[in-house]
Amino acid sequence: MIETLFYIGLTGATLVFAAIVILPVFFGAPWHPTSLRRVRQILDFAGVEPGQKIYDLGSGDGRVLIIAARQYGMTGVGLEIDPIKAWISRHVVKFFGVQDRVQIVRRSFFDYDFSDADVLFIYLSHQALDRLLPAMRERLKPEVKIICYGFCLRSLEPTKVNADKTIFVYQLHKGTRLNAYS
């Protein structure tokens, strides 16, 4: 009996793990949360401003948006394809009392109109970025600030790059030359 329960639990845990971590790989990127300290460094480096609307494309547990709302006075929308992370992050948003400023949408960023963004935060693989950029360039405000963490947009010259070349900030109207960080 104990063995049966153990293996049912183990199978369930494995399926949940697969759903949270592995399945999103097929849609754009695996889950690898940005550390809280790093989130603050990124938002400081990018020079975000209170009142701006930030989208996190693949918002994971919602941490980027929660910090943006609580500490930077921003409003945010998180697009997360994984129903389990979307569900969990909605509760985390409520726990931190920012549900009036942060919305989590269970949707693929490939199928969502985020043209009202002032700031985009993107921590995704090069493959996902390559697919995303052509579609998103048409729709975004010219003054939008795009923050890429870990991986750069391979066909755009960033306006700002941090010292260890992990944070790339783009402003579309400031240049479209090929960059040297890919």
Ligand X SMILES: C[S@@+](CC[C@H](N)C(=O)[O-])C[C@H]1O[C@@H](n2cnc3c(N)ncnc32)[C@H](O)[C@@H]1O
Q: Which residues contribute to the site for ligand X (CB under 6 A)?
A: 24, 27-29, 31-34, 56, 58-60, 63-64, 79-82, 85, 108-110, 123-124
Q: Count CA atoms within 13 Å of residue 166 on its CB side.
A: 9
Q: How far is the CB of 110 from ligand X (least distance, A)?
A: 5
Q: How far is the CB of 129 from ligand X (least distance, A)?
A: 11
Residue with the closest Cβ to ligand X?
A: 58
Considering the complex, what minimum distance in angstroms separates the CB of residue 84 from ligand X? Answer: 9
Tokens of 143: 């003054």
- The rounded distance, in Å, linking the Cα atoms of 91 and 49 is 26
Residue number with CB closer to ligand X (59 or 101): 59
Round to whole Å and give the CA distance between 179 and 97. Answer: 40
Give the nearer residue to ligand X in terms of CB position, either 82 or 118: 82
User: How far apart are the C-alpha atoms of 142 and 138, rounded to whole Å?
Assistant: 9
The first and second tokens of residue 85, run together, are 């992370």
- For ligand X, the closer of residues 115 and 176 by Cβ is 115
Specify the residue, 80 or 118, whose C-beta has the smaller distance to ligand X.
80
CA atoms of 70 and 87, how far apart (whole Å)? 20
Instruction: For the CB of residue 21, give the shortest distance to ligand X in the complex, in Å.
Output: 8
Report which residue type is found at 101.
R
